[in-house]
Structure 1
Amino acid sequence: MIDAHQHFWKYSPTEYDWIDDKMARIRRDFLPDDLAPILAAAGVGGSLAVQARQTLEETAWLLDLARQFSLIRGVVGWVPLAESGVEKHLDRFAASKALKGVRHVVQGEPEGFLDRAEFNAGIRQVTARNLVYDILIFARQLPEAIRFLDRHPNQRFVVDHIAKPRVSGAPDPVWARGMRELARRPNVRCKFSGVVTEIPDWKWTPGLLKPYFDVVLEAFGPSRLMFGSDWPVCLVAISYGEWADCVRSFVKPLSPDEQAHVLERSVKTAYGLT
């Protein structure tokens, strides 16, 4: 089992100002030595570390951690994709085999960001280096994301956190249609991660979450769907072990081969992990 999505940070209130008072329990450092025993207890063999700050220093730091800690199977970093000269940053970081992809926090950008010519030019540089691009959006941005995907048929994409729908009652049919439309593109995969924190009161039950899993499983199939924890953000609502067990329960009706895809093979294939 491989975790397709987790973060590290040395907490600073200025750099992590999105961690508000409701999330006070994660206002501290979270480092590989904290994660290692948690992964071991949950039966998870490694993880993909994803950027939490939009700085070049963040990418360099994560790659340095990957050199030190074997539990980090790869890194999804950040570079200024919409700026000229992004090639030099990509080349610098891609010299490390640990760099598997890059991400921009598009959920925090204004409408139309994914349509910008300069950002799309940056994505073409990502494609040229055979790196993955992680798509972090809210559900309302799905139409924009679909237009964006169609400009880059040769780019490998992974959608983070099932596009962050509001998780309350039955899945929104507009979100479900959007995810099915995304999944029609064979170069797109999806992480079942970050879902519990999209519940308004963070009060989760397997019964609440399962219909959302079913939507993305049906849309992407086991070979393009992957388990991710979003640790340590998930800790505001659920323990790591509870989340891992929840996802295992969702895949239990699948064949052993299909289970292996969701829990490990899909992330390995998507990011070229060993």
Structure 2
Amino acid sequence: MAEESADYPIIDSHIHLYPASEIETLAWCKPSNPLHSQHSLEEYAAATGSPPSLEGFIFLETDRKHDLVTGLEDGSGWEFPLMEVDWLKRIALGTPKDGEGHTSEQKKQCLAIVPWAPVPSGAEVLERYVKGVEKHAKDSFGKIRGFRYLVQDKPKGAMLQDGFIEGLKWLGKKGFVFDLGVDQHRGGKWQLEEAVEMIEKAHEGVDEEDKVTFIINHLCKPDLSVYNQTDPKFVAWRTAMFRLSKCSKTYMKLSGCFSEMPDKLKASSADDIFLALQPYLVVILATFGPFRIMFGSDWPVCTIGVDDAWKKWRQVVARFCDLASLSQAEQIMIWSGTAIKAYGIKELM
């Protein structure tokens, strides 16, 4: 397999980290979960092999337990998300505690941080929360480039509530991006349709420079057991990609695909995975183009049921770049440039 394109500088635009001491604060991680163990930079370095081309990563919140209550005056429902900010501060500033699995030298790898935020609660609550984030982050606050509030498991209409739209507009005005996580595979095509409407509402009546930037996670999680391009699921996904790509200030992460594959495909070679995903990759390239696509691994979630997942996904994306005959500039954007642009990462500019 050709790997020339993978020699370009790489920014992993989507990873999750947590120390063993804080696993109990994760809303989803039961003792039976295969990820119920420390996943810090030691483990990440082992998974990636620490290639010289890997410039660093962007951290995404790990869905800590929280209480989304608009009138929560004391902020007690935000304890665990703010604990996560403290944890990332220690990584970003190179001040680890014993046993947390990272060193002071690894701080340079942390290029951007995207914590959780109570976006649906509206501008006033969101502003109060972000002040709390700033207090906890201290000197690492400059690395906080945006926020995420997962909508993939929320009921219909949640993305369109007035408070949510107000919160998104506040993020844009303050220069923060919003990471958007929806799930067509498990949630249904209505999530894709609602996401388009949400973006349109969030941008409505807003000057271009103040519009919130949307960074869409994991291709919106299509069902990657579907290979027939006339299948209604594929047609609905393709239609949504065209609609989403026409929204201004939207980017797409080439990430999270292992979680949506059948087990047989997960166990296949990188070449076979690329061939199976080709219809999806063609659509993403045709809609968003290389200057709005960014590489991401979704580590450690990508490792469930997949051997050498990070390296295998890197090979799949390298194959995509090579066979799409992308120029040097286009490949650089996919591997790192789009992430730098979308998140406003200044260290590497």
Instruction: Give 1:246 deviation, angstroms.
Output: 1.2
Partner of 1:257: 329
Partner of 2:341: 269
Q: Partners in 1 of 2:330 and 2:147 — Cα distance?
A: 27
Q: Does 1:59 align with 2:85?
A: yes
CA contact (8 A) 2:216 2:252 kept: yes
The 10-residue stretch of structure 1 (163-172 or 31-40) with the greater mean CA deviation from structure 2: 31-40
Change (3 A) 1:8 1:47: same
Alignment of structure 1 residues 213-228 onto 2, 5 Å: 213-228=281-296
Change (3 A) 1:236 1:230: same
Letter in 2 for 1:255: S
Partner of 1:90: 130
Q: Partners in 1 of 2:19 and 2:260 — Cα distance?
A: 24
Q: Partners in 2 of 1:138 and 1:20 — Cα distance?
A: 25
Q: Name which of 182, 185, 190 aligns with 1:137.
A: 182
Q: Partners in 2 of 1:250 and 1:46 — Cα distance?
A: 22
Q: Partners in 1 of 2:335 and 2:216 — Cα distance?
A: 16
Instruction: Give 1:118 deviation, angstroms.
Output: 1.3
What is the number of residues matched between the two proteins? Answer: 272
Partner of 2:256: 194
Give the alignment's Cα RMSD to 1 decimal: 2.0
Q: Partners in 1 of 2:11 and 2:181 — Cα distance?
A: 20
The 10-residue stretch of structure 1 (137-146 or 8-17) with the greater mean CA deviation from structure 2: 8-17
Q: Partners in 1 of 2:335 and 2:52 — Cα distance?
A: 12
Q: Deviations over 1:167-192 (max 9, x none)?
A: 11325111011011100012100001
CA contact (8 A) 1:82 1:118 kept: yes
Q: Partners in 2 of 1:202 and 1:80 — Cα distance?
A: 38
CA contact (8 A) 2:82 2:133 kept: no
The percentage of aligned residue pairs carrying the same residue is 26
TM score, norm. by length of structure 1: 0.92
The 10-residue stretch of structure 1 (215-224 or 116-125) with the greater mean CA deviation from structure 2: 116-125
Q: Partners in 2 of 1:111 and 1:151 — Cα distance?
A: 16
Letter in 2 for 1:15: L
Instruction: Give 1:53 deviation, angstroms.
Output: 2.1
CA contact (8 A) 1:164 1:198 kept: yes
Instruction: Give 1:80 deviation, angstroms.
Output: 1.4
Q: Deviations over 1:101-141 (max 9, x none)?
A: 10011001111100111122211221121011000001220
CA contact (8 A) 1:39 1:46 kept: no
Partner of 1:101: 146
Structure with larger Rg = 2
CA contact (8 A) 1:142 1:178 kept: yes
SS at match of 1:53: coil
Instruction: Give 1:86 deviation, angstroms.
Output: 1.6
Q: Partners in 2 of 1:62 and 1:211 — Cα distance?
A: 37
Q: Name which of 106, 109, 112 aligns with 1:71.
A: 109
Partner of 2:72: none
Unpaired runs of at least 5, structure 1: none
Partner of 2:164: 119
